[in-house]
Amino acid sequence: MRRRAGVGAVHKQKLEQEKYKDKGTVIQENQFEQMTKQMEVFRLNLEEFATKYKNEIKKNSQFRRQFQEMCSSIGVDPLASGKGFWSVLGIGDFYYELAVQIVEVCMATTHKNGGIIGLDELRDRLIKARGRNKQHQEITIDDLLCAARKLKIFGNGFCVIPVGEGQYMVQSVPGELSMDHTAVLKLVSTSGSAFITLPSLMEQLNWETTRATNVLNSMVTEGLCWIDKDHKKDVSYWFPSMFTECIKSS
């Protein structure tokens, strides 16, 4: 018969386990300390880099995007830092100014598009408006996405909606779009046309008549699309927020 371990053996084994546990804790603490030191060195180097290339960061949109990616990798958000070193760069001011201009464009076009505007059209309108001032920096889609996402502080009144690969729309009216609303926007945005018909919607999304009709009627009521009863045979639902994209692709 196998003998059971004595009290002394059990106690010894317990002490060894605690010793290994304490050793593991020390190793983890040392690794964390080393990592913290490395991140601090990285942060200091990043500040030095930002100081050296301040003007380039502000003027060159590609350079600005890469700089933000570097900042994000160490958890630094120069856009949210209104004090201290990062405020010297003025990048936050650039994006907050851009956010205000986004709101102005959205408000000015709501009566036409129901509060949904494509990011490309938004950029075109902003460039046209900012063109009067030669001191304004170049703005890119990445800049617009960054600035538009800052508007989430207003709740669901402003949000960015992905509608395809590399394609976005900005919603500027209160109320969240349903999954069905978003599915329709994505379908229209990738179709190369600014309109859709009920039969086409049902066929491409495999929806029943009631579901498709309810979604389209809801979007008409909210001003997101218009009805054209004279277009060919079927009633067409036109999306004014897609007009600019369709003109460019044609």
What CATH number is associated with residue 137?
1.10.10.10
What are the backbone angles phi and psi of residue 162, rounded to the nearest 5°? -75, 130
Q: Would you place residue 1 in the very low, low, confident or very high pLDDT band (cuts 50, 70, 90)?
A: very low
Taking a C-beta distance cutoff of 8 angstroms, is the pair 180, 211 a contact? Answer: yes
State how far the alpha carbon of 138 is from the alpha carbons of 41, 47, 70, 126, 129, in Å: 32, 23, 20, 10, 12
The H-or-E segment that residue 64 falls in is: helix 61-73
Is residue 121 domain-resident? yes
Cα–Cα distance measured from residue 144 to residue 122, given in angstroms and rounded to the nearest whole number:
9
Whether 123 and 163 map to the same domain: the answer is yes
CA-nearest of 68, 62, 64 to 54 is: 64
Mean pLDDT, to the nearest integer, of 84-103? 70
Whether 109 has a pLDDT exceeding 90, the answer reads no
Q: Are residues 172 and 187 in the same domain?
A: no
Q: Are residue 172 and residue 126 in the same domain, yes or no?
A: yes
- 9 lies in a domain? no
Task: Give domain status of residue 125, yes or no.
Answer: yes
Residue 171, strand partner residues: 116, 159
pTM above 0.85, yes or no: no
Domain final position from 161, 176, 191: 176
Domain assignment of residue 222, given as a range: 177-250
Closest by CA position to 68, among listed 124, 14, 160, 146 = 146
Same domain, 227 and 193: yes
- Specify if 12 maps to a domain: no
| Whether 156 and 197 share a structural domain | no
Domain identity same for 170 and 184: no
Q: What is the pLDDT of residues 75-90, one digit of tens each?
A: 666 655 555 455 555 6
Tell which of 111, 146, 176 closes a domain. 176
Q: Which two tokens stand for residue 6?
A: 């004595």
Residues 6-65 have pLDDT tens digits of: 556 656 666 666 666 666 676 777 776 776 776 677 667 767 777 777 777 767 767 777
Question: What number of CA atoms fall less than 13 Å from residue 2's CA on the CB side?
Answer: 2
Please indicate, yes or no, whether residues 183 and 250 belong to a single structural domain of this protein. yes
pLDDT tens, position by position, 145-161: 888 877 776 666 678 88
What is the number of domains present in the chain? 3
Same domain for 53 and 116, yes or no, is no
Beta carbons of 239 and 249 less than 8 angstroms apart: no
Contact criterion met (CB below 8 Å) for 237 and 183: no
Residue 127 lies inside a defined structural domain of this protein: yes
Enter the tokens of residue 33: 């300390």
H-run or E-run covering 88: none
Q: Do 181 and 165 belong together in one domain?
A: no
